[in-house]
Chains A and B, each alone.
Chain A
Amino acid sequence: MTDDHQLRVSKIRNGTVIDHVAAGQALNVLAILGIDGTSGEAVSVGMNVPSDRLGRKDIVKVEGRELSQSEVDVLSLIAPAASINIVRDYDVVEKNRVVRPDAVASIISCPNRNCISNADEPIRSRFTVLSDGVRCDYCETIVREDEVAANLDVN
């Protein structure tokens, strides 16, 4: 990573930089964070930026916002290589790799339309995290990593 690449996305003062997001996933990251531009946060997005580690990557910078654990859990499913940098007063004060949780609840909808978790029952969707995807705890359907974003149940 060179300074030149950093400059493609403007610096933020306080907030979070989500770096090393798989190329093409930046908009899904915004969806997970519930950011659609209407609530006024300053957001910068770099897409298909050259990266030594990933070839190409996306970067998302969000001013004035630190992420919750459940947001990080979901991010880990669509961007397992992501690093999350907390910025205060223009300095990176904390740098964390995402860690995949063992299970996630309420954030992914089961793509099996006949799954009981999609019926009108008093339960939350729940998935066990596998090495390359997630599996519905109810119907056992497997959602591969590259399909997770399409089944996000955010907002």
Chain B
Amino acid sequence: MRQDHLISASHLSREDIEAVLDRAADIDDDPAAFRQRHAGKVLGLCFFEPSTRTRMSFDSAMKRLGGQTVDMGPVESSSVKKGETLADTVRVVEGYADALVLRHPSEGAATMAAEFVDVPLVNAGDGAGQHPSQTLLDLYTIRENAGLDDLTIGIMGDLKYGRTVHSLAEALTNFDASQHFISPESLRLPRNVRYDLHASGAQVREHTELDEVLPELDVLYVTRIQRERFPDENEYRKVAGQYQIDSETLEAAADDLTVMHPLPRVDEISPDIDDTDHATYFEQAHNGIPVRMALLDILLSQDR
């Protein structure tokens, strides 16, 4: 990778992405070969907002590389509660670990934290900003199921606040992918993401209805529309129902359509899709392990 940190998908080149995905495939093929790879190394887990799964996934990935993790624990019981700055916290934890993983509720937190530390730092989600390690596992899943070039992908749901969507859309500009964004008017992509997509010359179209594009899609990436984004419950119900899919919806889709979701889902994907060949979201979640192992392996192996 060009830098020691993974902060934003917009910093990732095609080569960076392929290096991680290829390494993840090697790990998938022969996990035993990586079992002692980083014995003696320690990964610091700094989670300023709860995220059990992402934290467990990094924890598991590091341990499967032979390393260990230290966890700052819940914010309520840490020095953060006493008013310590993020800049100070990461500088302290840097002394305990060979790399850091940061989840923080403020946008730009990872960019700032990386300015204060010398060890590799992975952004595991900053507010509504970016979540690039999720993107790498999404790309790995897409590559396994549909291929990354000559790809037609629909990304549907809350595109405004969905950080996984922002990272994925920007990363896909490295590939020959035609991107269709499907959302209610009020939850369209934010200005800065559009700006990047436009600047990279990406093929992008926006829709309010899934059926306008469903038959063309190789991949449908669904995200959750959160109730708290809407001022009133009725407005939410009207919109959310429109973006739920079930096996009947998918009758109009290609037989080999891959349906993805970063999970957790609520009711946007009906359980009756789970047993079909379309459902790829659990596989996607499991891919978090080899992909995060690959990412940590690359970051921890760099000469510094």
Residues of A in contact with B (beta carbons under 8 Å apart): 112, 114-117, 119-123, 130, 135-142
Contacts and interface: CB of A to CB of B under 8 A. Distances in A.
Contacts of A139: 106-108, 111, 126-127, 129
Contacts of B127: 114, 139
Contacts of B192: 135, 140-142
8 contacts: A112-B107, A114-B106, A114-B107, A116-B112, A121-B112, A123-B112, A136-B108, A138-B107
A135 B195 CA distance: 11
Interface string B110-154: 011001000000000011110000000000000000000000000
B105 interface: yes
A4 to B, nearest CB: 43
Contacts of A140: 8, 10, 107-108, 129, 192
B276 interface: no
B302 interface: no
A117 B195 contact: no
Contact of A119 (B86, B111, B128, B129): B86
A114 B111 contact: no
Nearest to A123: B112
B85 A116 contact: no
A138 B8 CA distance: 11
A137 B115 CA distance: 12
B108 A116 contact: yes
Nearest to B107: A139
